[in-house]
A and B are shown apart, each in its own frame.
Chain A
């Protein structure tokens, strides 16, 4: 049963504030400081066992636990939505162990933990975005040896990264990577932005908020301080492009957000909806309507369009 208790004294006394002990939090904060000092560089940290398995956001949770304070307001999203199982679990976790205020509104959050999306709404300098990362090493799939990848980062040997993009173009005619699209940070380190769609990559460039990345299983932390240059890798004759859709959001009519495809029935009818639920509901509250919104008259055409790249 969900509790939204605001009195720290009534929070569960079996746990330290935000679950982790203070020494662990200091260890993580030291790692975070190093990460912020070297944008895009993967800092190893002594990740703890968390009460959820690897693959469920333990890295992100540890980072959040280290930076969150009693006055913070936490938002947790998973694929852009606040109401999925994972997002709800993590939000409850912090409500129980830290007794912090939680919210679904991007503008009201001071810390946003996310899996696989960046909020559509532009973030501010007083906000922190915490990403959940499965595999932090962008070169891993081409070079399995950790000893080699560390050297490559140290010596700025990134030719291999372009080999991957070359392969894409030779096989598919274009760079087929659509998420976890590698970026060059501050003209120095190549970084995996976590499995966010490449649509979100431009948001990372010169973002006003602090961006922190936690990989629990691999035990790595990295960071992008505010206003850091982030450039997606590409070729001169195959420049980086974001996805685009022919359709608008069926609920709020937005044409500039990342759309999820929703199958409506067995006849192949489908509609497209903003993946960022807060963004969509904010627009609807402001009066925007998409063709499938229940306010709209019936007979408005269902979309049979497909997402365009």
Chain B
């Protein structure tokens, strides 16, 4: 059990180079249970590259990603065997893709989508799996009558909420989100953000969320890292970074938001 003041994730000097081109460079931070870290920046800032590296999808050129596992203590994510890494990504971690289709199986029902992780860790009781899936549909505000429907019959916002349910069913402690509200209508975004905010709070999730939308960052994150051309140019408390930006680029970003 992690004590609440020990870091859940520690990233040290993470660098991802593509030949001579910098993906991201020298990124270091810690994340505690229940903390939400926002990574903001414009296209090409390196934020998605960073997210892929810290979520064990792409080994960095340099640097270490350490995670405080439930039973084995702190482990270097890239020193684990692939089996252990894949198990981690299916149970204790979750990844919410920008495009829901990348995070769902479009050819099986909503219930099967949500139940898959449970079946992957050995659940073998159909009734229980179905109940758990139904329960989660309710939590993400999808009508439970849709349990047996295919995701292709869902709207974009519903697909995104289904993706979230699919990810959260195994009670992960760390969730990575890549522009979770990108591509959705504004009103749909608002609803989704509110849902995320509630779930993060209720489940004490640690979250790393990549977004170009500062309003999303402000609503959801405790801390912020601002990236430009692969480097973290400013970081700190969300309200501090957004209300009293020090770096030129951060000031530019903040002043670019249209005020009411």
Contact = CB atoms under 8 A, between A and B. Distances in A.
Given A155-B86, A169-B126, A170-B130, A162 B119 contact: yes
A55 to B, nearest CB: 25
Given A142-B108, A163-B115, A167-B112, A157 B120 contact: yes
Nearest to B117: A159
B131 to A, nearest CB: 11
B148 A171 contact: yes
A235 B124 contact: yes
A162 B105 contact: no
A45 interface: no
Contacts of B119: 159-160, 162-163, 166
Interface in A201-260: 235-238
Contacts of A158: 120
A169 B124 CA distance: 13
B124 A162 contact: yes
- Size bracket, chain A contacts: 10 to 19
A163 B108 contact: yes
Contacts of A235: 124-126
Interface in B101-123: 105, 107-109, 111-112, 115-121
A160 B116 contact: yes
Interface string A141-172: 01000000001000101111011001101110
Contact of B112 (A155, A163, A236, A237): A163
B124 A170 contact: no
B208 to A, nearest CB: 25
B258 interface: no
B105 A142 contact: yes
A142 B120 CA distance: 14
Contact of B126 (A142, A151, A157, A166): A166
B252 interface: no
B120 to A, nearest CB: 3
B127 interface: yes
A25 B259 CA distance: 77
Nearest to B107: A142
Interface in B66-89: 82-83, 86
A236 B122 CA distance: 11
B125 A167 contact: no
Contacts of B111: 166, 170
A93 B106 CA distance: 45
Contacts of A166: 111-112, 115, 119, 126, 129-130
Given A155-B86, A170-B111, A163 B116 contact: yes
A237 B127 contact: yes
Contacts of B82: 151, 155
A193 B130 CA distance: 28
A167 B124 contact: no
Interface string A267-278: 000000000000
Nearest to A170: B148
A286 B115 CA distance: 53
A249 to B, nearest CB: 34
Contacts of B108: 142, 163, 167
A54 B117 CA distance: 37
A155 B130 contact: no
Given A157-B120, A166-B119, A170-B112, A237 B126 contact: yes
A167 B86 CA distance: 24
Nearest to B123: A162
A162 B109 CA distance: 13
A131 B111 CA distance: 36
A159 B120 contact: yes
A175 to B, nearest CB: 9
A167 B105 CA distance: 12
Nearest to A141: B107
B223 to A, nearest CB: 34
Contacts of A142: 105, 107-108
Contact of A238 (B83, B112, B115, B126): B126
Given A160-B116, A238-B126, 12 more contacts: A151-B86, A155-B82, A159-B119, A160-B119, A163-B112, A163-B115, A166-B126, A170-B147, A235-B125, A235-B126, A236-B125, A237-B127
20 contacts: A142-B105, A151-B82, A155-B86, A157-B86, A158-B120, A159-B119, A160-B116, A160-B119, A160-B120, A162-B119, A162-B124, A163-B108, A163-B116, A166-B111, A167-B108, A167-B109, A167-B112, A236-B125, A237-B125, A237-B127
Interface of B: 82-83, 86, 105, 107-109, 111-112, 115-121, 124-127, 129-130, 147-148
